[in-house]
């Protein structure tokens, strides 16, 4: 399995079977599509190839529409490889690239670069300047450039697109269990531990304050979560608060604070991964620190019971 960030680094591949897309989240719908690519490659003794774009094309084409990502690029590539794709090319999505005519996209980008045996693509895939090209054009030129086109069904594509939208909505609403079910894995958020106000340790619940590694990745909605935390390759049970800490401050800055159970190491400046399991409750303001401490004790017990059951 190999990753390429420059087209010039791509070696000659025998009978490449290509698919193209953003594949944000690499969720269950995407995996069905990837399995089709792998199956076709095996049938012709070829190589499976996936082309993806960085940044996400919507950021360039629709800059006025904010888009939060499910998976940073590094995670996305790893998940695609784990699915069994042999070669991944990350294509810089630039203004010049977006302005290619659909004919030039097929001839100069797809055919002359990859010499595909088969292009596995969705019925609604669009490409070229003003998204003028589609699967009908790919089929039209198939005989000219000697490649085959396999059309992914509307059902599979619709499931993939709807799932991406649904997953983003579920996470924004704090429904991490629902999101994880659609992803086929627990939702993860990686970040660096930074110094905070250290109020938690004064009430017996010291927290690791996490600054997300990728500011474009979705942070689940405010609330208290049962999670696991990966530190130096080892997982620990923990509970997490996402919010504005209304009991102890009037700040407008969002805080992501993990209370890691049975852990006492100094991890300031280290990268950790938050693995979301289930939301416990909404964030709320308590009348005193004692009342907050009492609730945190209940949250910890609920977290331990929940995590012991998985």
> What does the pLDDT look like over 183-202, one tens digit per residue?
999 999 999 999 876 666 66
- Confirm whether 2-170 and 186-308 share one CATH topology: no
Tokens (6 digits) for 164: 């991406």
Residue 241 pLDDT > 70: yes
Tell me which fold the domain 186-308 belongs to.
Elongation Factor Tu (Ef-tu); domain 3 (2.40.30)
pLDDT category, 250, cuts 50, 70, 90?
low
Angle, CA of 240, 168 and 208, to the nearest 5° = 20
Rounded to whole angstroms, the Cα distance separating 132 from 239 reads: 49
Nearest to 91 by CA among 184, 176, 8, 212: 8
Q: Is the link from the previous residue into 55 a cis peptide, with omega within 30 of 0?
A: yes
Give the whole-angstrom CA distance, residue 310 versus residue 302: 13
At the topology level of CATH, where does 2-170 sit? Rossmann fold (3.40.50)
pLDDT-above-70 percentage for the chain: 97
Query: Cα separations (Å) of 165 from 168, 216, 230, 236?
Result: 5, 16, 27, 30
Domain ranges of the chain: 2-170, 186-308
Q: Which residue has the tokens 């939208």?
A: 165
Would you say 152 and 33 are in contact if contact means Cβ atoms under 8 Å apart? yes
In this predicted model, what pLDDT tens digit does every residue of 126-185 receive, in sequence order?
Answer: 888 888 899 999 999 999 999 999 998 877 777 777 788 899 999 999 999 999 999 999
Whether residue 24 contacts residue 56, with contact meaning beta carbons closer than 8 Å, is answered with: yes
């Amino acid at each position: 399995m190999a990753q390429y960030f420059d087209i010039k680094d791509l070696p000659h591949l025998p009978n490449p079977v290509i698919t193209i897309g953003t594949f944000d989240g690499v969720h269950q719908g995407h995996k069905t599509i990837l399995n089709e690519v792998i199956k076709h490659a095996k049938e012709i003794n070829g190589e499976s190839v996936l082309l993806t774009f960085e940044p996400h094309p919507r950021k360039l084409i629709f800059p006025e529409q904010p888009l939060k990502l499910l998976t940073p690029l590094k995670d996305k590539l790893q998940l695609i490889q784990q699915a069994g794709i042999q070669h991944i090319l990350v294509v810089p999505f630039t203004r010049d690239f977006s302005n290619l005519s659909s004919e030039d996209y097929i001839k100069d980008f797809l055919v002359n670069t990859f010499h595909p045996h088969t292009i596995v693509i969705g019925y609604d895939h669009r490409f070229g300047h003003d998204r003028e090209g589609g699967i009908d054009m790919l089929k039209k030129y198939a005989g000219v450039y000697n490649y085959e086109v396999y059309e992914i069904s509307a059902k599979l594509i619709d499931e993939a697109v709807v799932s991406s939208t649904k997953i983003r909505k579920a996470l924004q609403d704090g429904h991490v269990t629902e999101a994880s079910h659609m992803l086929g894995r627990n939702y993860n958020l990686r970040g660096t531990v930074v110094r905070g106000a250290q109020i938690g340790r004064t009430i017996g619940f010291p927290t690791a304050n996490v600054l997300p590694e990728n500011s474009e990745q979705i942070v689940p909605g405010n609330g208290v979560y049962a999670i696991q935390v990966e530190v130096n390759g080892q997982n620990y049970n923990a509970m997490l608060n996402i919010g504005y800490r209304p009991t102890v401050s009037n700040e407008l800055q969002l805080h992501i604070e993990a209370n890691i159970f049975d852990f006492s190491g100094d991890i300031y400046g280290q990268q950790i991964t938050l693995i979301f399991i289930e939301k416990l409750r909404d964030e709320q303001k308590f009348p005193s620190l004692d009342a907050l401490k009492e609730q945190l004790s209940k949250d910890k017990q609920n977290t331990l019971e929940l995590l012991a059951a998985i």
